[in-house]
Amino acid sequence: MYIVWAMEEKPAKLVIVYATQTGNALDAAERIGREAERRGCPATLRSVDDFDAASLPQEDTVIFVVSTTGQGDLPDSMKAFWKFLLQKNLTKHWLQGVSYAVFGLGDSGYQKYNFVAKKLDRRLSDLGATAIVERGLGDDQHPSGYEGSLDPWMSSLWHALYQANPKFFPNGPDFMIPDEKLIDRPKVQIRYHGTEKQDFQFRKSSDANWEGPLHVSCKIFSQHEYAPINQYEVGDVLEVLPGQNPEAVDAFIQRCNLDPDSLITVHPIEMESHLHSQSNASKVPIKLKKFVELTMDVASASPRRYFFEARILYVMSFFATAQHERERLQYFASPEGRDDLYQYNQKERRTVLEVLEDFPSVQLPFEWLVQLVPPLKTRAFSISSSPLAHTKQVHLTVNVVSWRTPFKRKRTGLCSTWLAGLEPQKSVYIPAWFHKGSLPSPKPSLPLILIGPGTGCAPFRGFLEERAIQDVSGSAAPVMFFFGCRNEENDFLYKELWSSHAQEGGLLSEARGGGFYVAFSRDQPQKVYVQHKLREHSHSVWKLLLEGASVYVAGSSTKMPSDVMAAFEEIISKETGVSKEAAAMQLRRLEREGRYHVEAWS
């Protein structure tokens, strides 16, 4: 007699590994994981710095979601992982049998667009892994952001996975689990520990590691130790966690019928398939109001697709008690309502608070709010001071952002408005972290060609301050600086500083081989930009390059970096008599030699 043990086959599981610098790759990875689970395929979401690269050969299928920062740079979290993959002892068969897919997030305004995704794709293939689909490349310049590429890429991914192994999607790649079956599955659990009034009793009965809500709140975000303010170099970046408008936070709490004084802890329910909850997890009780202030962007971030995708709209409609609101939400979630949804949400950049106020009968449990509200993200600023010139100080150059929507709603940048509203006389603690930027600190003997329109001049203020101090004890190398802005009267940042160094004998003076050149784009009928000024001074630029100068470019990531690079190609071609193609190759060589640096932002 034979006994056959019948074992239920487990469905195939996706491993999604993300490498993020600002959080966008995490958002995309969460979206991929969510869409996989809606099709019946469990997904494991892991940060690349929490993933053992040595275990890759044991994985069946891995989806990589990686961002590119700076001038084709890796996110900080990916550096150890990438170093492991570059080991020479890894053979071309090391990943044989492993399937993978890569989706990159980048900005086509940069020369090395999505460089990290491209080289990761090549390296995985070189090690023997098999690509499931062609890599996807998200572009921040696209009208819909990276999602303009993510949606069609995911569609290809699901069908390719199904063809490779039907176990991924037992009911087919187009089958979707009904939303009503997912509605009771938030990814986080909220535990309540009384209110602030019970705080004293709670401290006495809790473990000895109690640190208090206010202190712990800052630790929610930080994966780094706080750095003293004198540990930075020129060219570094300061990451700032902005404060939110207290009135907006109070309005959100009141709208959602929450108790601001409740002490809570937030826990992921499923560690393997946790999504947005990881960044908001808290191990020690914190006041609910403080948790909202420090983790949930309630009044500045537009929900966009992250908040408005079909499942989320259905979640809102499920909790709507008014029939007309439920129907409107379901219409927005449908393919027929996509255009109207775009008009309602993306063009107007409605905030979470505004959306909730537009649907007053919707009462979402706090667990769902924690999961669905966009996270409050840090903002990165180029440091515009030198530690030699300003001991124990750090200076930022911030443009206060404001604009009008099509329906004339006034919008302002959260961080810039908050910073501008701080009172200098008051002491304010600001959660902030220092990071290495894309602009390495130059040696005083290195000639420089700086291009920094608008607030792109910020790091170069620090460069010049530091070089002026170094120049006292020795003759520092010359500096050419090309600055651009709209109007001389209104936008000429640090005019006195640049002008003083451009005087006879100064670091920016032509007498020393440098120069200071300004393009005011709106002060004459024809528009004049920094690239025009570069071409005007072609011979001087080329002369300084021959003397070993390094080029530093900082500013907007739209067209400026590519326009400046095109201007340098023309200068090299003109001054040497070579073709544009040969000039472009020379410029690539400058990049490889570490003599051409770009730091741009959108």
The confidence band for 339, taking pLDDT boundaries of 50, 70 and 90, is confident
DSSP letter (8 states) at residue 277? G
- Whether 416 is in a domain gets the answer no
3-state class (DSSP) for residue 501: helix
- CATH code assigned at 589: 3.40.50.80
321 is known to lie in a ligand binding site: no
401 is known to lie in a ligand binding site: no
Domain boundary among 158, 177, 196: 177
Residues 508 and 536 placed together within one structural domain of the fold: yes
472 is known to lie in a ligand binding site: no
520 is known to lie in a ligand binding site: no
Residue 520, amino acid? F
77 is known to lie in a ligand binding site: no
388 is known to lie in a ligand binding site: no
Mean pLDDT, all residues of the chain? 85
Q: Which domain holds residue 509?
A: 448-601
378 is known to lie in a ligand binding site: no
382 is known to lie in a ligand binding site: yes
Number of CB atoms found within 10 A of residue 167's CB: 14
Residue in this structure with the two tokens 């390719």, named with its chain if needed:
160
Residues 268 and 326 placed together within one structural domain of the fold: yes
Residues 213 and 158 placed together within one structural domain of the fold: no
CA of 113: how far to CAs of 57, 80, 104, 107, 381, in Å? Answer: 29, 22, 10, 6, 21
Residue 249, amino acid? V
82 is known to lie in a ligand binding site: no
DSSP letter (8 states) at residue 269? S
Residues 152 and 202 placed together within one structural domain of the fold: no
Residue 144 has pLDDT above 90, yes or no: no
Residue 275 has pLDDT above 60, yes or no: no
- Whether 586 is in a domain gets the answer yes
223 is known to lie in a ligand binding site: no
351 is known to lie in a ligand binding site: no
DSSP letter (8 states) at residue 345? I
- Whether 402 is in a domain gets the answer no
CA of 346: how far to CAs of 145, 153, 316, 326, 330, in Å? Answer: 11, 22, 18, 20, 17
The pLDDT tens digits for 169-200 are 888 888 877 666 666 567 788 999 977 544 43
- Whether 422 is in a domain gets the answer no
Residue 154, amino acid? M
Residue 118 has pLDDT above 90, yes or no: yes
Q: Which of 111-120, 180-189, 212-221 has the highest mean pLDDT?
A: 111-120
Number of domains in the chain: 3
Q: Are 550 and 595 a contacting pair, CB within 8 Å?
A: yes
- Whether 4 is in a domain gets the answer no
Residue 461 has pLDDT above 60, yes or no: yes
Average pLDDT over residues 201-222: 30
24 is known to lie in a ligand binding site: yes
Average pLDDT over residues 444-472: 95
Alpha carbons 222 and 219: distance in angstroms, whole number: 5
Q: Say how many residues make up the chain.
A: 602
Q: What is the reported pLDDT for 590?
A: 93
Residue 535 has pLDDT above 70, yes or no: yes
3-state class (DSSP) for residue 254: helix
Residue 161 has pLDDT above 90, yes or no: yes
Q: Are 476 and 489 a contacting pair, CB within 8 Å?
A: no
Residues 194 and 297 placed together within one structural domain of the fold: yes
445 is known to lie in a ligand binding site: no
CA of 285: how far to CAs of 196, 210, 271, in Å? Answer: 10, 9, 20
The DSSP result for 553-573, as a single string, is EEEESSSHHHHHHHHHHHHHH
The pLDDT tens digits for 356-387 are 999 999 999 999 999 888 889 888 899 999 99
Alpha carbons 553 and 555: distance in angstroms, whole number: 7
Alpha carbons 30 and 273: distance in angstroms, whole number: 9
509 is known to lie in a ligand binding site: no
Residue 269, amino acid? I
Residues 52 and 27 placed together within one structural domain of the fold: yes
315 is known to lie in a ligand binding site: no
The pLDDT tens digits for 577-592 are 999 999 999 999 998 8
- Whether 441 is in a domain gets the answer no
Residues 143 and 198 placed together within one structural domain of the fold: no
Of residues 598, 577, 600, 573, the one with CA closest to residue 585? 573
List the structure tokens of 290: 């403080």
Residue 280 has pLDDT above 90, yes or no: no
531 is known to lie in a ligand binding site: yes
528 is known to lie in a ligand binding site: yes
Residues 79 and 144 placed together within one structural domain of the fold: yes
69 is known to lie in a ligand binding site: yes
265 is known to lie in a ligand binding site: no
CA quadruple 306, 310, 315, 317: dihedral sign: positive
417 is known to lie in a ligand binding site: no
> CA angle, 278 as apex, 368 and 27 as ends, to 5°?
80
Phi then psi dihedrals of residue 415, to 5 deg: -70, -45
482 is known to lie in a ligand binding site: no
- CATH code assigned at 120: 3.40.50.360
411 is known to lie in a ligand binding site: no
- Whether 437 is in a domain gets the answer no
- CATH code assigned at 367: 1.20.990.10
25 is known to lie in a ligand binding site: yes
Between 334 and 521, the higher pLDDT residue:
521
195 is known to lie in a ligand binding site: no
21 is known to lie in a ligand binding site: yes
Residues 336 and 476 placed together within one structural domain of the fold: no
Residues 308 and 268 placed together within one structural domain of the fold: yes
Residues 102 and 205 placed together within one structural domain of the fold: no
366 is known to lie in a ligand binding site: no
- Whether 262 is in a domain gets the answer yes
Domain boundary among 338, 372, 406: 372
Alpha carbons 117 and 132: distance in angstroms, whole number: 15
List the structure tokens of 31: 């979206």
22 is known to lie in a ligand binding site: yes
Q: What is the reported pLDDT for 462?
A: 96
Residues 99 and 193 placed together within one structural domain of the fold: no
Between 280 and 345, the higher pLDDT residue:
345
Domain boundary among 327, 351, 372: 372
Helix (H) or strand (E) holding 222: none
H helices present in 346-398, as ranges: 352-358, 366-372
Residue 479 has pLDDT above 60, yes or no: yes
Alpha carbons 578 and 584: distance in angstroms, whole number: 10
Alpha carbons 470 and 453: distance in angstroms, whole number: 25
Residue 213 has pLDDT above 90, yes or no: no
3-state class (DSSP) for residue 273: coil
380 is known to lie in a ligand binding site: yes
